[in-house]
Amino acid sequence: MKTCEYQQIDPLALSTPTLPPYDGREKREKPRRPRRKWEVFPGKNRFYCDGRIIVARQSGVLPLTLGLILATSGLFFIFDCPFLVKHLTSCIPVIGGALFVFVVITLLQTSFSDPGILPRATPDEAADIEKQIDNTGNSSYRPPPRTKEVVINQQVVKLKYCFTCKMFRPPRTSHCSLCDNCVERFDHHCPWVGNCVGKRNYRFFYTFIVSLSILTAFIFGCVTTHLALSTCFCPCSDRNCRHSSDINIQNLLVICFFSVWSILGLSGFHTYLVASNLTTNEDIKGSWSGKSGEEVTNPYSHKNILINCCTMLCGPMPPSLIDRRGFLPMDESVQTAGTDIELPTVAPKSEINAVGGSPQLAFVLRNLPFLCLYSPKPT
């Protein structure tokens, strides 16, 4: 009797597939292993270390990036540092080592952190948005409008609907086709770091390219100095004595020469973006350049270089929204239902859900067992 009453009044049990019927079978089943959210993540990302590390599926260029940094730095430490320590100062390998460690740490931070992925809409949320898009209730023949307009700092910003994530993308959000996720403040997908660059890892990316520029320029300067000093300090008159080492130095000089200009150029470009609070995506698309003749300004810019830099690089780190290490609620429910189901604790929840907070109906539902029990025996 009691079970029957609660099944009738508990919409939670009807709408949520996680609560099993009360036939006692679930109790006999082996308890399931709680699953984390990254195990069923819908995007094309890879997860390692139980969801602590997230990378794009196509992250094959990342080992090449690491290899190039390791090889260039290794050649420098092997062929240049001993000579420069002997003839110049012992600070050179210390500075080079510190820069190298910093570059590798920022690279790994960029590659292995959540760039700002937005979780996809749940079926209920997607259905609600669909209803909002087409409130006529007849969406079978007419495609819904794909844009919404919002005003940010007196500037009209269009929000596009993402058919994969089933939601209107927030401002500055784009869907990365390689990772199959909507990423907040999407800058670009960088194959060199094997990850999207977005709201949560842009500061690491910027620090990486700036520190890499400094490291490359430092190695270039040291190699040039080595080459210049080696001719002055060589006591041997035989030209063949340092021929082999000179070849290595010259190779390193050529690598650094090309790396310095490309990396310095990239750092300069991103410094301009940081100072103007722009993303690479917005700059390439010309979102705020007024190409179409309209008078548009970047609504996200604080009109001050210093504030723009502080906002983008020193602001508080936004939390990850995908909660990839969190447990799936389904498994939580199964576990809870399988271990201890306390009907009296379910009842008040179901009353609140069923009546939407109406005290009269809640009172009736609460006293339903007593009404049923006592009504057949009127005195």
Residue number, 182 or 219, with CB nearest to Zn ion: 182
Q: Is residue 179 flagged as an active site residue?
A: no
Whichever of 61 and 309 has its CB closer to Zn ion, that residue is 61
Closer of 182 and 215 to Zn ion (Cβ): 182
Q: Which residues share a beta bridge with 80? A: none
| Least spacing, CB of residue 371 vs Zn ion, in Å | 51
Contacts for 106 with CB less than 8 Å, ≥ 6 apart:
204, 205, 207, 208, 211
Residue 178 or 364 having the CB closest to Zn ion = 178
DSSP string, 22-81: SSSHHHHSPPPPPPBGGGG--SSEEEETTTTEEEES--THHHHHHHHHHHHHHHIIIIIH
**CA pair distance 260, 364, nearest whole angstrom:** 77
At residue 89, φ and ψ (nearest 5 deg) are: -150, 155
- Cα gap 116→194, rounded to integer Å: 15
Burial of 316 (0-12, 13-18, 19+ CB in 10 A): exposed
Query: What is the smallest separation between the CB atom of 111 and Zn ion, expressed in angstroms?
Result: 12
Where along the sequence are the contacts to Zn ion (CB under 5 A)? 162, 164-165, 175-176, 178-179, 182, 189, 196
Q: How far is the CB of 282 from Zn ion (least distance, A)?
A: 17
Q: How far is the CB of 189 from Zn ion (least distance, A)?
A: 4
Written as six digits, the tokens of 166 are 């089933």
Q: State the nearest-atom distance from the C-beta of 202 to Zn ion, in Å.
A: 13
Say how far apart CA 67 and CA 75 lie, in whole Å: 12
Sign of the alpha-carbon torsion through 166, 168, 171, 175 = positive
Catalytic residues: 190
